[in-house]
Amino acid sequence: MSVVADVPALANDISAEFYVVGTKKFLLLSIMTLGLYWYYWHYQQWARYRSYHNEKLWPVARALFAIFFIHSLTSEIDHRLRKNRTPYAWSPGAIATAYVVLALASSIGNRLPQNVGPWLNGLFIVLVLPIAWLLLKVQRAANLACGQPNGESNQRLTGVNWLWLVLGAAFWALILFGLYVSVPT
């Protein structure tokens, strides 16, 4: 059997140390769901890590409180890259710290009172892009650590992915409509 024929079988391979996903799929789901996909992404990263190492950890807690565990995740991925002698130009600590800062800024901006100003209320929307860019660097490293630089086994959108994209598009439409309606004339 050829390697190409085996790739689809890897899509559900839970024996990989980290979650593998194609970069285009990652970006699309990240942006269209306004970052909700990241909860699933963090969960999968830690669930795969737990299975691979047979460790007792709670992936759900690590996904919900990702700002406390992103440094550990990037460190573990970097450790695997070094162990495999796989070159990847990145700074895992700096990426994790930038993620924490932006995630906190987004969370604070999302909780400000409406009268503070519409530009601050939309902060969480604007910060989706730089956060997605940071996590994309982490995903590329995870893909490399698992021997799939392009996330070959998980590039296609599933039915559930399409459902989230449709819901995300509706949410984006509501946000844009709300911004249009709230702009003073």
CA distance 86 to 67: 26
| pLDDT, tens only, 42-60 | 999 999 999 999 999 999 9
Q: What are the start-end ranges of the H helices in 11-117?
A: 23-32, 37-53, 59-64, 66-84, 92-110
Domain segments of the chain as ranges: 3-182
pTM for the full predicted model: 0.85
| pLDDT, tens only, 97-114 | 999 999 998 887 777 666
